[in-house]
Amino acid sequence: QSVLTQSPSASGTPGQRVTISCSGSSSNIGSNTVNWYQQLPGTAPKLLIYGDDQRPSGVPDRFSGSKSGTSASLAISGLQSEDEADYYCAAWDDSLDGPKWVFGGGTKLSVL
């Protein structure tokens, strides 16, 4: 059971816009920034969005992040076949039982 909650799957057709959500609590998303990672099959995760809505150099502007309260979202516009991957949200958690990094369970994106 992951601390951050993501839908297990999402899908879209080429060119569409899809949104992946991530729900947390006041000790993680509510008080710290959210990061998003893309994991292509058989590869290590790659940083996609940091600081809630910032893109690292090299990440296309088709990818965007946002946050409101204790929830965050990743939007992918102009969906492409190479976007088919697993997407994970993550945040630092200041919980009283010990600070830690927490991840969402991941969302498998299919491009139909």
Partner 1 sequence: EVQLVESGGGLVKPGGSLRLSCAASGFTFSSHSMNWVRQAPGKGLEWVSSISSANTYIYYADSVKGRFTISRDNAGNSLFLQMNSLRVEDTAIYYCARVDGEFDYWGQGTLVTVSS
Q: Residue numbers of the site for partner 1 (CB under 8 A)? A: 2, 33, 35, 37, 39, 44-47, 50-51, 56, 86, 88, 90, 98-106
The 3-class secondary structure across 48-101, one letter per residue, is EEECCCECCCCCCCCEEEEEECCEEEEEECCCCHHHCEEEEEEEEECCCCCCEE
Least Å from the CB of residue 15 to partner 1:
28
Least distance between partner 1 and beta carbon 56 (Å):
7
Q: How far is the CB of 80 from partner 1 (least distance, A)?
A: 23
